[in-house]
Structure 1
Amino acid sequence: MKTILNPDKTQWQNLFARPSLDVQDLNTLVQQVFTEIKQNGDKAVTKYTQLFDGANPDAIGVSQEEINAATATVSDELKAAIQLAKSNIEKFHTVQKEAKQLIETTAGVTCWRESRAIEKVGIYIPGGSAPLFSTVLMLAVPATIAGCKEIILCTPPDKQGNINPAILYTAQLAGVSKIYKVGGIQAIGALAFGTQSISKVDKIFGPGNQYVTAAKQAAFAAGVAIDLPAGPSELLVIADATANPAFVAADLLSQAEHGADSQVVLVTTNEGFGNSVLAEINTQVAALPREGVAQKALDNSRIIVLPDTASCIAFSNGYAPEHLIIATADADALAEKVTNAGSVFIGNYSCESAGDYASGTNHTLPTNGYARSYSGVSLDSFVKKITFQKITAQGLQNIGPAIEAMAAAEQLQAHKNAVTIRLKSLQNV
């Protein structure tokens, strides 16, 4: 990690940059895969599973027998942990249900809004070297609470064509309808356009690397809804000398180990503290099984020293991190000043890993600065909000003249006539 001392604000924009692939090459690849999936369906999916994942499963779909066999291999300890996390996620998302509220905006004019579940949703679960079964909970649990009729899960198989047992156990526990051994661009394409085996869905959810993110954005351009731009993981930590360097180092590494294209940033008011964190990182990273991955992410990461916590929070709001940890003496006050972040963790004991697994909040969050305009996944992500209105004769008489005047001013005569014809009919009653 490179340390940058008191950068001028004119430099901040450059410091907000994330690591990226060549976008033109990336989009060309996505379109190539999508075109083949639209033309050849399962055949194209199988081709790219072999090419990208080096796997050739006997069948794309996962059978109930496979799920049962996998469930038997998951330890009781892990099952209990997953069940605890599921319970907390259910509690947090269930209270997000919106009760119907009827509002009489004018006498005789009643308006309200109701939620309706999205019928078919696709959830993408990163797999491979880090099978994220926790993401199954984060997506399938709120989808189930919302009442989605079909929840289709795609995740990449290993070289032997199998899916991690914890993913299969969690999927069944959380209410997933169908599971497919498909990852990457080809999974997003299959969910977006449908194949002989995989149904086209109404909305695609889930995090992933830059290939998956680009594929989701291309699917959106093709008319399929997506949750949000959720690409490589990132974390920004604001810390002062009151924080624990070992804690901060562990938090930074927890995100760095996600992938070589992840990015972590420490913003601190104390250069000596930054040096202490860096020393801890060098010690802790050597003991990680994913040391190589974390080291590559650290090459894209930095420590930034700023004069005060006000400058730190201003930098963070400009960076708009996916995850933000505030470990300062004035953490609660700083949290009030956060305007752009996916999820915020306040205080020395609020590690980001809690949000990733079991505190109850959702870990599918906007990355790459999209936290300036996107929220993380919630119950609302799985429903549509439909407005209703009911107008009585008195109600139309009360607001009709205003509608006529506005429609006439916009030169939309048919709009005006729709009201006028009704008002004239009431004069004859």
Structure 2
Amino acid sequence: MDVRQELISRFFRYAAIESQSNGRANSLPSSSGQAALAALLADEMRGLGLEDVLVDEHAIVTGVKRGNRPQAPPIGFIAHLDTVDVGLSPSVRPQVLRFEGKDLCLNDQEGIWLWVAEHPEILEWIGDDIIVSDGTSVLGADNKAAIAVIMTLLARLDQQDGHGDVFVAFVPDEEIGLRGAKALDLSRFPCDFAYTIDCCELGEVVLETFNAASCEIVFTGVSAHPMSAKEILVNPLLMAMDFISDFDRKDTPECTEERQGFFWFKDLVANDSEAILTALIRDFDTDAFNRRKRRIAEVAERMRSRYPTGNVRYQITDTYRNISRSLARDDLAVALLFKAMEQLGIEKKLIPMRGGTDGAVLSARGIPTPNFFTGAYNFHSRYEFLPVPAFVRSLEVAIRICQQAASFS
């Protein structure tokens, strides 16, 4: 089987397993499909000759492909098992379509099209095969394209002219707070540095991410019958709406770009007595990030003054920090990545990633972990697509990194 077909075959096999994470679950993993995918990957890893393959109680899969170059630094690759829940179907039905410059019909029955006018980024791939969903779900290239790349890498390493030890980890629940990477036992992943393959188009490299926190704000009101509500009733839903309105309407994800931070009011559940608002806080700059957290406290205090018979309480939880605080551009991990891309003729596109990856957690825990491209576009969207040539290039970078590490002394 040629490399294109192997990548596609693996991607389709992994995409067939429903593995959406569930942000409302307290378990790790948050969904049974992630455990099923973990078991499948562990079996395949053993079949590829990996040693020390283990799936723990959290569906974290680890193993090592032993090398024959003892001077080479041990390196790692990590990908996440979950796909994101954005309210679409958890069932992914991938398909390969030839893009000839015209709009792509993703689902004739449902009338779902990928319109070129709305997604001009696809024009770079005229004449190429494109992997898409049927439009009822995300494609899940985030992060099953990475899983397919890593598994194909492991299958083909023995064809290379020697390699060092390559450690692998597949972790759950990246999409809901990088939970799996935080629970990873690093004694099972003893590499000098690692890579996530968890950003988008061909050539993208991430050495910088948001600082991130989540916030839960609880508004306690006073319930009353309308016949006696005057000057007594305190509506917690209106308290929450007043809280939100105290923030700049343009300081939001849809109104910001590049290195601009934001507040994202993401969920609100309310009844007569209580409203629970969840928010995400994001900023590249650490000082600005801390100011945003203080802003939550200031507005909460203002709401307490406005509603003296009600109450407002909040809890802020740091999720991850800017990877640049733990990752220098002269790190060996970065140097090998840049050299691999240069040798392959792939132009680097350094981007400040408006999100986070498992690499942010690993870097903070002492394993420098830069991030490079899967080749896919439009993560977290029904219009996500993965050009097959870019998919292949992602694998080529992973292979070349291992080759570079093997020659290191």
TM-score (norm 1): 0.23
More helix by share: 1
Higher CA-based Rg: 1
Return the structure number with greater relative CO, CA threshold 8 A, min gap 6.
2
TM-score (norm 2): 0.24
